[in-house]
């Protein structure tokens, strides 16, 4: 199969949310992609309210050079599954917290995909949004050594933070 020609400004990650009400959470993913200097785009598409647009978007993503899709949605959260249904790009699902069920509804709707159409589902909420971006970065880093280096530095910084916190606790 031929590789798609890429230019540096082409988005490698599409971050899709079901509603603008998801944006405060999705910002955590966006901030992380920015921190790693990954090209991304942000879209609002709904599996329920704009189903045809969501399907068309997923169908065209690969040919536009996108390499990973992130879908964030809450409630009967079918967005990530819809993207996965219409694309063979890796899809990462972020379950958005909800008022009545705390996001358990979003989690189960996103994670419980039937056999054959996977969605890599992260935790409910901000940790999940950040991890969705990091997982996308790890996928891109399989073929991007500069990104892999940044990922290595990030992990080292995480380790240092924990070691510092542990030293501070011992001094209490
Ligand atoms: C989902 O329904 C969206 O992803 C959002 O989390 C939830 C509520 O959407 P709004 O009613 O706030 O637009 O499709």
23 Cβ below 6 A of ligand 1: no
Pocket flag, ligand 1, residue 96 (CB < 6 Å): yes
CB 74 within 8 A of CB 103: yes
Cβ–ligand 1 distance for 22 under 6 Å, the answer: yes
With the most atoms of ligand 1 within 8 angstroms of its CB, the residue from 20, 23, 73 to mutate is 73
Rounded percentage of the chain residues whose pLDDT exceeds 70? 95
124 lines ligand 1 (CB under 6 A): no
pLDDT digit string (tens) for 42-84? 999 999 999 999 999 999 999 999 999 999 999 999 999 999 9
Across the beta sheet with 68-74, the strand order is: 40-44, 13-17, 68-74, 91-96, 120-121
Task: For residues 18 and 20, give the distance between their C-alpha atoms in angstroms, rounded to a whole number.
Answer: 7
Q: How confident is the model at residue 171, as a pLDDT?
A: 85
Report the share of the chain in percent with pLDDT over 90. 92
Q: Give mean pLDDT, residues 1-19.
A: 75
């Amino acid at each position: 199969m031929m590789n798609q020609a890429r230019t540096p400004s082409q988005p490698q990650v599409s971050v899709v949310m079901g509603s603008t009400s998801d944006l405060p959470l999705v910002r955590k993913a966006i901030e992380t992609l920015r921190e790693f200097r990954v090209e991304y785009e942000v879209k609002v598409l709904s599996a329920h309210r704009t189903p045809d647009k969501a399907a068309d978007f997923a169908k065209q993503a690969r040919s536009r050079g996108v390499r990973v899709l992130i879908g964030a949605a809450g409630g009967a959260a079918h967005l990530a599954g819809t993207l996965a249904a219409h694309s063979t790009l890796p899809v990462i699902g972020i379950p958005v917290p909800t008022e009545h069920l705390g996001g358990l509804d979003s989690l189960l709707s996103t994670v419980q995909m039937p056999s054959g159409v996977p969605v890599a589902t992260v935790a409910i909420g901000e940790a999940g949004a950040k991890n969705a971006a990091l997982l996308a970065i790890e996928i891109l880093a399989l073929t991007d050594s500069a990104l892999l280096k940044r990922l290595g530095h990030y992990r080292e910084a995480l380790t240092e933070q924990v070691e510092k916190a542990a030293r501070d606790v011992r001094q209490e």
